[in-house]
C-alpha cells in the first residue's frame, strides 16, 4: 500500500507543529492525504503558514492532561516533537520535570484513545553519563516505549537546515570567527543528518509494522567532528576555513556563554546543546534500513545539506515569505514559524514618514532619485563614498542614470541596479558597489489611511538592507552605523519635503 493510500484513511496528530521539525513535517503529511490535527501553545504562531486552513488546530500545552487527551482522541498516529528547553531561563529551569510530565500525559492519553502508533524524535547519544538535555530526551523515549502504545523513537544527530538551532550555531560561529578558540570536545565525532532525510524517516515511520516498539538510530552518511562541520560549512558558503584551536580550559558553561555572545541562538538553547556536544553522537545501528529504504539518490551528504540550507541566500532574495506558497518544496529553507534568530544575519535601517503630499507626488521624487538629483542628504558624504568605491575598483557614482525622471527594471542608478519596480508603489535598488556583503535600498509609497493622517496624504517607507559577509561585513555595518543614523533620517525627511513642494 502506498503512503498516499495509507494516509488517506488515517488521522494524524502532531504535537510541536510550530517547531523546526513539525513545521516541515505537517505539509508532507497533508500532501500524502492524511487528516492532520496540530497542537500549538499559541494559535497565532500558525498564522502565516500556507497549510493553516487544511488542519485542525488545538491550542494548549501537553502539560495539561485534557489537552493531551484532545490531541489523541480519534488519532491513529501521533507525532511527538515537543521539547521544553526554551520554555524558561536560568540554571534552575527544570525542563526535565516538564518534559517528564508531558510524556506521561501523552502516554496515558494515547493508551486511552487507542492510538495505534506514537512517533518521537529524540537524539543520538552514547552509553553512560549524559547531559541534561540528552538524558531528558532519553527518559521521554523510555516513557513512551512503556506506554502500551506501539512507539517508534527515532534518535537523530544534529539536524542540518536553515532554522535548526544546531545548524545556526555552525553558521554564525563560522561566519563571524576566522580564528575560533573552542573546547577540546570540538573534535568529538558527530553524525549529522539533513533535514530532508530526517523528514523522510519520520514520514516512513507511520508505516512501520503494527506492534513494533523500539528505538532507531538515524544519521547521515558521514561521521565528522564539529570542527570539520564548520570547515565544510565555510567551503559551501564561500568563506575561508576557520582556524579552530581546541582549548582544554573551556568548560561547557563557558563555551555556552561564548556561543550565546557570538551567535543569535538564545542561551536557553545554547547551554543544553553545547553540553550535549561533550559526547560522541554516532549511530550505533542501522536497523531502520530494514523497514524504511533510504531516500531516492541516497542519504544527503553534510556538504550538500549545507548547500541546500544556503539556497535561499544564494538566490539574492531580500525577503521571503511562505504565506503564498502552495507546498513545502525545500525543507531546508526558512518557514514563518521558525524562530526570529534563525537564518542569515541581516541589518536594516527603516524609516516611515507620513506626508500630506499625495502618493503620486512622493513617487515622482522617489523615481527621480540618484544621478543629477542626488540622494537628498549630505551630498558630500555620498560623493566621498562614491570616490572610495571607484578607487577600490567599483563602479562609483559616475554611471548616473538613463533618464532623469523615469526608471525601468534593471536600469543602472549610480552604483545601484533597479531590482524591483512596481510603478507608483515600490522601488528596490540592489547595490553594485564594493561592500563586504549584499545591500539594498528600498522605497515604498502608499496612500494614507484615515488613521495615518487623513485623505489625500501618503505614507513613505524607506528601508536599507544589508546582509554582512563574515566578520568584515559586521564590522563594516558597525563602522557606518553612526552615519546611517544621519543620512537615512535626513533622506526620508527631505524626500517627503520635496514631494510636498511639487506643484
In this structure, the answer to whether residues 31 and 172 fall within a common structural domain is yes
Who has greater pLDDT, 279 or 328? 279
Whether residue 334 lies inside any domain: the answer is no
In the numeric block, which cell numbers belong to residue 156?
Answer: 537523530
Question: Which pLDDT band holds residue 293 (cuts at 50, 70, 90)?
Answer: very high
Q: Which domain holds residue 465?
A: 347-501
- Strands 189-190 and 56-59 come out as unpaired
In this structure, the answer to whether residues 306 and 404 fall within a common structural domain is no
pLDDT at 245 over 70: yes
Whether residue 212 lies inside any domain: the answer is yes
- The CATH number assigned to the domain holding 404 equals 3.30.530.20
Whether residue 342 lies inside any domain: the answer is no
Whether residue 325 lies inside any domain: the answer is no
In this structure, the answer to whether residues 110 and 229 fall within a common structural domain is yes
pLDDT at 286 over 80: yes
Quote the DSSP letter at residue 301: P
Angle, helix 165-176 to helix 252-262, in steps of 10 degrees: 70
In this structure, the answer to whether residues 439 and 391 fall within a common structural domain is yes
pTM over cut 0.85: no
Per the CB < 8 A criterion, the answer to whether 226 and 250 are in contact is: no
Q: From CA 232, how far away is CA 93, in angstroms rounded?
A: 35
pLDDT at 464 over 70: yes
Compute the C-alpha angle 71/60/340, nearest 5°: 115
Q: Which residues contact 431 (CB under 8 A, 6 or more apart)?
A: 415, 416, 438, 439, 440, 441
Please give the average per-residue pLDDT across 344-354, as a whole number.
86
Among 292, 314, 336, the domain-final residue is: 314
pLDDT tens column, 358-400:
999 999 999 999 988 889 998 888 888 888 888 888 888 878 8
In this structure, the answer to whether residues 259 and 380 fall within a common structural domain is no
Question: Which pLDDT band holds residue 90 (cuts at 50, 70, 90)?
Answer: very low
In this structure, the answer to whether residues 491 and 363 fall within a common structural domain is yes
In this structure, the answer to whether residues 108 and 176 fall within a common structural domain is yes
In the numeric block, which cell numbers belong to residue 246?
Answer: 581546541
- The total domain count for the chain is 2
Q: Which residues contact 120 (CB under 8 A, 6 or more apart)?
A: 79, 80, 81, 140, 141, 144, 151, 152, 153, 154
pLDDT at 206 over 80: yes
The overall average pLDDT reported for the chain is 83
In this structure, the answer to whether residues 258 and 113 fall within a common structural domain is yes
Whether residue 253 lies inside any domain: the answer is yes
pLDDT attached to residue 251: 66
pLDDT at 128 over 70: no
Q: How far is CA 426 from CA 50, 367, 405, 431, 443, in A?
A: 25, 9, 15, 16, 6
Whether residue 332 lies inside any domain: the answer is no
pLDDT attached to residue 342: 61
pLDDT tens column, 92-112:
457 788 899 999 999 999 999
pLDDT tens column, 490-499:
999 999 999 9
Residue 266 has φ and ψ, to the nearest 5°, of -65, 155
In this structure, the answer to whether residues 88 and 209 fall within a common structural domain is yes
Whether residue 222 lies inside any domain: the answer is yes
Whether residue 370 lies inside any domain: the answer is yes
In this structure, the answer to whether residues 405 and 282 fall within a common structural domain is no
In this structure, the answer to whether residues 295 and 360 fall within a common structural domain is no
Per the CB < 8 A criterion, the answer to whether 411 and 400 are in contact is: no
Please give the average per-residue pLDDT across 228-256, as a whole number.
80
3-state class (DSSP) for residue 258: helix
In this structure, the answer to whether residues 351 and 302 fall within a common structural domain is no
- The CATH number assigned to the domain holding 259 equals 3.40.50.720
In the numeric block, which cell numbers belong to residue 413?
Answer: 542608478
Amino acid at each position: 500500500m502506498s503512503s498516499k493510500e495509507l494516509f488517506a484513511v488515517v488521522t494524524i496528530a502532531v504535537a510541536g507543529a510550530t517547531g523546526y521539525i513539525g513545521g516541515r513535517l505537517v505539509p508532507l503529511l497533508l500532501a500524502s492525504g492524511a487528516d492532520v490535527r496540530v497542537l500549538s501553545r499559541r494559535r497565532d504562531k500558525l498564522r502565516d503558514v500556507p497549510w493553516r486552513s487544511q488542519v485542525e488546530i488545538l491550542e494548549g500545552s501537553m502539560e495539561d492532561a485534557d489537552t493531551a487527551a484532545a490531541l489523541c482522541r480519534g488519532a491513529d498516529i501521533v507525532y511527538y516533537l515537543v521539547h521544553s528547553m526554551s520554555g524558561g531561563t536560568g540554571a534552575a529551569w527544570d525542563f526535565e520535570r516538564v518534559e517528564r510530565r508531558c510524556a506521561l500525559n501523552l502516554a496515558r492519553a494515547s493508551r486511552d484513545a487507542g492510538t495505534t502508533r506514537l512517533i518521537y524524535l529524540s537524539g543520538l547519544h552514547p552509553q553512560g553519563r549524559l547531559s541534561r538535555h540528552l538524558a531528558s530526551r532519553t527518559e521521554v523515549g523510555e516513557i513512551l516505549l512503556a506506554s502500551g502504545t506501539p512507539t517508534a523513537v527515532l534518535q537523530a544527530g544534529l539536524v542540518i537546515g536553515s532554522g535548526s538551532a544546531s545548524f545556526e550555531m555552525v553558521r554564525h560561529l563560522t561566519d563571524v570567527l576566522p580564528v575560533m578558540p573552542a573546547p577540546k570536545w570540538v573534535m568529538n565525532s558527530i553524525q549529522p543528518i539533513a533535514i530532508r532525510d530526517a523528514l523522510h524517516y519520520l514520514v516512513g515511520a507511520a508505516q512501520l509494522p503494527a506492534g513494533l516498539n523500539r528505538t532507531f538510530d538515524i544519521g547521515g552518511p558521514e561521521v565528522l567532528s564539529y570542527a570539520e562541520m564548520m570547515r565544510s560549512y565555510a567551503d559551501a558558503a564561500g568563506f575561508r576555513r576557520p582556524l579552530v584551536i581546541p582549548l582544554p580550559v573551556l568548560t561547557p558553561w563557558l563555551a555556552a556563554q561564548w556561543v550565546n555572545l557570538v551567535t543569535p541562538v538564545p542561551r536557553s538553547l545554547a547551554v543544553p546543546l553545547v553540553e550535549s556536544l561533550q559526547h560522541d553522537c554516532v549511530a550505533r545501528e542501522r536497523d531502520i534500513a530494514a523497514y524504511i529504504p533510504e531516500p531516492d539518490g541516497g542519504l544527503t551528504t553534510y556538504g550538500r545539506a549545507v548547500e541546500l540550507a544556503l539556497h535561499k541566500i544564494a538566490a539574492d532574495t531580500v525577503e521571503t515569505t511562505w504565506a503564498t506558497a502552495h507546498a513545502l518544496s525545500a525543507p531546508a529553507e526558512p518557514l514563518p514559524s521558525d524562530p526570529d534568530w534563525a537564518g542569515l544575519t541581516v541589518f536594516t535601517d527603516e524609516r516611515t514618514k507620513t506626508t500630506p503630499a499625495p502618493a503620486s507626488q512622493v513617487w515622482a521624487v522617489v523615481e527621480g532619485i540618484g544621478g543629477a538629483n542626488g540622494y537628498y542628504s549630505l551630498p558630500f558624504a555620498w560623493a566621498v563614498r562614491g570616490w572610495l568605491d571607484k578607487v577600490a575598483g567599483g563602479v562609483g557614482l559616475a554611471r548616473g542614470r538613463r533618464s532623469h525622471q523615469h526608471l525601468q527594471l534593471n536600469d543602472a542608478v549610480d552604483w545601484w541596479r533597479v531590482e524591483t519596480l512596481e510603478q507608483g508603489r515600490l522601488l528596490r535598488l540592489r547595490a553594485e558597489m564594493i561592500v563586504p556583503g549584499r545591500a539594498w535600498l528600498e522605497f515604498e509609497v502608499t496612500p494614507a489611511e484615515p488613521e495615518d493622517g487623513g485623505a489625500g496624504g501618503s505614507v513613505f517607507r524607506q528601508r536599507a538592507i544589508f546582509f554582512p559577509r563574515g566578520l568584515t561585513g559586521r564590522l563594516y555595518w558597525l563602522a557606518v552605523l553612526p552615519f546611517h543614523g544621519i543620512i537615512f533620517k535626513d533622506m526620508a525627511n527631505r524626500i517627503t519635503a520635496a514631494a510636498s513642494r511639487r506643484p
